[in-house]
């Protein structure tokens, strides 16, 4: 029974392991496309906006004030990204630690199970 369960479980594990690089690549492609679109948006926006702002006579000091405000928002966003990255790293480390503790528990349980099987086996008379 253990061989059957191990072999079938191994097939599932191998399938998941085989798909992991594809999953990571797909996510990286998605993120790269999102960032490219965002960069393009501001490049296109710049051309149209410059003409309108020039026609309106917007003061350079107003733009500088907006730049200072934008830098504050950017700094906060970067800080939040760094905090989330730290959170994800810590979460992953904690999950791995939990899995190792679970693995240790399962090994103890399987050792006890093997002893029960050995004891039970000793009680069952051999077929003759």
pLDDT attached to residue 63: 87
**pTM reported for the whole predicted model:** 0.62
Average pLDDT of adjacent 10-residue blocks, the chain of 128 residues? 85 92 93 91 77 86 93 96 96 97 96 93 84
pLDDT in the model for residue 7: 87
- CA distances from residue 33 to 24, 27, 28, 69, 86 in whole angstroms, order as listed: 14, 10, 9, 27, 24
For the chain, helix (H) and strand (E) counts, in that order, are 2, 0
């Amino acid at each position: 029974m253990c061989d059957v369960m191990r072999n079938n479980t191994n097939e599932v594990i191998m399938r998941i392991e085989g798909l992991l690089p594809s999953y990571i690549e797909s996510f990286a492609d998605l993120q790269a496309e999102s960032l490219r679109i965002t960069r393009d948006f501001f490049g296109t926006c710049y051309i149209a906006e410059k003409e309108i702002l020039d026609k309106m006579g917007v003061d350079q000091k107003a733009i500088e004030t907006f730049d200072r405000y934008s830098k504050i928002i950017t700094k906060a966003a970067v800080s939040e990204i760094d905090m989330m990255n730290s959170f994800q790293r810590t979460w992953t480390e904690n999950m791995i630690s939990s899995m190792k503790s679970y693995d240790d528990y399962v090994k103890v349980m399987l050792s006890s199970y093997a002893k029960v099987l050995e004891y039970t086996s000793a009680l069952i008379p051999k077929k003759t």
